[in-house]
Structure 1
């Protein structure tokens, strides 16, 4: 997330430079280059390097374009062989015709009077000097040719920066947003009830599987998780609220009753309760279909929808919970709660959560796997051996 923000900041600043009459093209190219490194976009980084005059790329490109120009007057085998040799060098360093040496790119760089393959900052300086001194050329560089070169690079850079910015900001938005939601719900649910949190994380893991039986298990897990959550939030009783029974089997009603009492805003209350009703009714329908053996209706999509809906409902619920975490002591690290990991290992809450998540993901913890978790050092592993039953 931090890298994404930094890349977006750099690209936004680059676009401002390119859109401002006083903005420097050199500055914009440098920012795009840094963003491309963060985003691991090697093609764009190479294009920026060419604009910055990096010899590794510009040397062979200069020879390539000079040979192309020469072939227009002398289509000899010798020149064609040279061109093929330069083409091979270009391929070896990974340059792509559509980006790094397109017809437009070559036309912009071909003329020495426009600066050629020098650093774009030099082109800016020479053009500014000619404008300031009101001269058309300095004997080598011509104002019009330099301006043409600058306009090409400015336009191309703007197109590249715009596409990078939009791709980064909007591509994968659903995935990124759900990751944010999932991590937040996982953390809060770990505080409330690690067993329920584990069930939810395992359900999410199951829908990514290629096995149909795991999809079915995810659906069952979501239903049981809501039942367990209802037990935590609003224990069963013989009473009724809003005409709804609150017995052991009416877990949706009990979650609904909790929201009715916990949410102050009527509009928020109505939305949250409607969401719970939707999920509960939908899960019951899926459960009935499964019991009847209607397997065609129960695929990976249905399981995924169930898990996503469950995360959304729990996010609504957890938003209105007061934190109330208790600590219990158990010796086995593979059955320990999040509180036990935090307290007995002497680590931060976040590291304890990472340990718990890793255990859920891998299914087991020993000293070797524990040591691989970010934030866990030799002292923590030693502490684990002292405080827990753990395979060394």
Structure 2
């Protein structure tokens, strides 16, 4: 049953991504290729690909929902100023999610889930970069891919609700 449910959700997410760019679809395929391998080095690359999907999605959606925005900071509903300049994709994604969630009170869970996942990916990557002997397991990579599909699907579905 879980396979069927996830398969349906995955198809819906990929249909939404197909509206964005060819590069995004190539990243989705690359994730699958890396996880199907028996090479443990490719598992950490799958995490990187997941992060890049979030970066690309943040950039595209920010340009879509804030086309004329030229400031380097964005003021959230709580009054906090966040940096949205250059590569601050988490903050850009936060601004987009906040804008989309404003349309319906039932959408407020999405932002928390997305930011949790991005932080989790960053923490695993940071451990590797700092020389801490932490190998990304296939289980880590699978979890990351599943959660990436869910979170990005939720973000893309916010647009349609």
Which TM-score tier does this pair reach, normalised by the shorter chain? Answer: 0.7 to 0.9
Out of 11, 34, 40, which is 1:206 matched to?
34
Query: Displacement of 1:212 after TM fit?
Result: 0.9
Query: Displacement of 1:285 after TM fit?
Result: 0.4
Where 1:296 maps in the other structure, the secondary structure is coil
Query: Displacement of 1:295 after TM fit?
Result: 4.3
Out of 291, 313, 323, which is 2:129 matched to?
291
Where 1:247 maps in the other structure, the secondary structure is coil
The question of whether the paired residues in 1 share the 8 Å contact of 2:13 and 2:152 is answered with yes
Out of 69, 73, 76, which is 1:239 matched to?
73
What is the TM-score of this pair, normalised by structure 2? 0.83
Higher relative CO (CA 8 A, sep ≥ 6), structure 1 or 2?
Answer: 2
**Structure 1: which 5+ residue stretches go unaligned?**
1-172, 323-392
**Structure 2: which 5+ residue stretches go unaligned?**
64-69
Query: Displacement of 1:231 after TM fit?
Result: 0.8
Matches within 5 A, 1:65-144: none
Moved segments of 4+, more than 4 Å: none
Number of the residue aligned with 2:145: 307
The question of whether the paired residues in 1 share the 8 Å contact of 2:34 and 2:45 is answered with yes
Matches within 5 A, 1:1-392: 173-235=1-63, 237-242=71-76, 243=80, 244-263=82-101, 264-268=103-107, 270-321=108-159
Larger Rg: 1
Query: Displacement of 1:237 after TM fit?
Result: 4.6
1:20-79 superposed Cα distances (whole Å, 9 cap, x missing partner): xxxxxxxxxxxxxxxxxxxxxxxxxxxxxxxxxxxxxxxxxxxxxxxxxxxxxxxxxxxx
Number of the residue aligned with 1:334: none
> Are the structure 2 counterparts of residues 321 and 212 from structure 1 closer, same or farther at C-alpha, using a change threshold of 3 Å?
same
